[in-house]
């Protein structure tokens, strides 16, 4: 049996349009006619028609590329994470690398990326009464599991996301009850804390160095849904009037590194504008940066 019937169509390039599609279809039709006309009296005419169609196709592609390039440049100024960003990133994908297979290298990489820290006893505050913690709402759960991507890799349980989403829809109240109990008892099941680790070699880094690998940690999607519910409740407070400072950009919706850089540049331009001497308004501006190695996995 042929396996070609299940192939997915590739997404067309950004400059493709219906006019180019029609020119290409006409060009292919005339090419077949010219090929079949070999040795016949109308061979020259068919070849000229094919050459004209091919020139029209090339002109249409060139004009569309020129127009779409201008549109991409204009769109990049309005939306830095939009179509221009996706087009560029699709060209910058690094070649696939295989994870390390040597047991000693794997142990060294894991110990480097996940340093062992002696646990300290934590005096946890007493849990609130159950009635003080609201149950997981219907829309709250729909929002949380609706953010699950179908094609994302599953965690250690091996359950595909499409199957888990179908299970949530079929047993909605059961999942809502489980997540509510977890919130009210202040617990996260140990099984949902386990993760499947994949080590990927960073481009241009030596393969024998443990720090040359980037860790990908796959968690069970059921635990991710509970985490999204918790994160959503936290955001109602952190994004409120008494929440996070306006100058914080990390781990916040609608803010990116580009916004932080623009804020720094704006502060610097304001500081150095004007005169320096005698009643001048020019000030000094300094930037202090802190880089913590492997900060996310080392924080406790």
109 with 237, same domain: the answer is yes
- 96 found inside a domain: no
51 with 131, same domain: the answer is no
Among 211, 226, 243, the domain boundary falls at 243
Pair of tokens at residue 159: 């359950």
194 with 62, same domain: the answer is no
Among 67, 91, 115, the domain boundary falls at 91
- 5 found inside a domain: no
71 with 107, same domain: the answer is no
| Local structure of residue 150 (DSSP, 8 states) | T
End-to-end CA distance of the chain: 55
Residue-wise pLDDT tens digits, 46-78: 999 999 999 999 999 999 999 988 888 887 777
Name the domain count of the chain. Answer: 3
pLDDT at 94: 55
User: Could you give the dihedral angle defined by the CA atoms of residues 149, 152, 157 and 158, in that order, rounded to the nearest 10 degrees?
Assistant: 120
- 131 found inside a domain: yes
165 with 218, same domain: the answer is yes
86 with 124, same domain: the answer is no
pLDDT at 251: 81
Among 59, 91, 123, the domain boundary falls at 91
194 with 292, same domain: the answer is no
CB 127 within 8 A of CB 185: yes
Pair of tokens at residue 7: 């192939």
- 9 found inside a domain: no
- 215 found inside a domain: yes
pLDDT at 181: 93
- 296 found inside a domain: yes
Give the separation between CA 289 and CA 145, rounded to whole angstroms. 37
Contacts of 247 (CB under 8 A, 6+ apart): 263
117 with 83, same domain: the answer is no
What's this model's pTM, rounded to 2 decimal places? Answer: 0.61
The domain containing residue 273 runs over which residues? 246-300
116 with 227, same domain: the answer is yes
Give the separation between CA 156 and CA 150, rounded to whole angstroms. 16
Angle at 62 between CA 57 and CA 68, to 5 degrees: 120
187 with 270, same domain: the answer is no
107 with 239, same domain: the answer is yes
Give the separation between CA 223 and CA 179, rounded to whole angstroms. 9
Give the separation between CA 275 and CA 281, rounded to whole angstroms. 6
Walk along the chain (300 residues) and give the pLDDT tens digit of each residue.
444 444 556 677 878 999 999 999 999 999 999 999 888 888 899 999 999 999 999 999 999 999 988 888 887 777 767 777 777 776 666 556 666 777 888 888 888 888 777 777 777 666 666 557 889 999 999 999 998 988 888 889 889 999 999 999 999 999 999 999 999 888 889 999 898 888 888 888 888 888 888 888 889 999 999 999 999 999 988 888 888 888 888 888 888 888 889 999 998 888 888 777 667 677 778 888 888 777 777 666
Pair of tokens at residue 3: 């396996």
- 57 found inside a domain: yes
- 6 found inside a domain: no
135 with 232, same domain: the answer is yes
Contacts of 173 (CB under 8 A, 6+ apart): none
Angle at 229 between CA 191 and CA 162, to 5 degrees: 65
Q: Which 3 state secondary structure label does DSSP give 282?
A: coil
């Amino acid at each position: 049996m042929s396996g070609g019937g299940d192939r997915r169509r590739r997404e067309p390039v950004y400059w493709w349009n219906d006019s180019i599609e029609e020119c290409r279809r006409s060009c292919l039709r005339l090419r077949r006619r010219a090929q079949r006309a070999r040795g016949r009296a109308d061979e020259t005419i068919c070849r000229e028609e094919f050459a004209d169609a091919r020139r029209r196709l090339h002109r249409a592609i060139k004009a569309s590329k020129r127009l779409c390039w201008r549109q991409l440049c204009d769109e990049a100024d309005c939306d830095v994470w939009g179509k221009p960003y996706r087009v560029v990133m699709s060209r910058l994908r690094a070649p696939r690398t295989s994870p390390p297979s040597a047991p000693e290298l794997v142990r060294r990489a894991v110990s480097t990326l996940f340093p062992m820290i002696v646990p300290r006893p934590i005096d946890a505050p007493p849990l609130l009464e159950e009635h003080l913690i609201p149950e997981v709402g219907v829309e709250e759960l729909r929002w949380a599991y609706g953010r699950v991507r179908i094609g994302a890799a599953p965690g250690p349980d091996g359950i595909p996301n499409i199957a888990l989403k179908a299970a949530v829809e079929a047993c909605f109240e059961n999942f809502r009850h489980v997540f509510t109990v977890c919130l009210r008892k202040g617990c996260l099941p140990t099984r949902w804390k386990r993760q499947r680790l994949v080590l990927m070699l960073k481009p241009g880094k030596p393969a024998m160095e443990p720090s040359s690998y980037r860790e990908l940690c796959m968690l069970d999607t059921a635990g991710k849904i509970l985490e999204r519910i918790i994160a959503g409740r936290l955001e109602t407070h952190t994004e409120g009037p008494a929440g996070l400072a306006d100058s914080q950009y990390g781990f916040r919706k609608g803010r990116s590194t580009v916004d932080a850089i623009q804020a720094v540049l704006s502060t610097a331009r304001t500081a150095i504008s004007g005169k320096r001497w005698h009643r001048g308004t020019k000030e000094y501006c300094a930037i202090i940066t802190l880089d913590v190695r492997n900060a996310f996995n080392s924080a406790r």
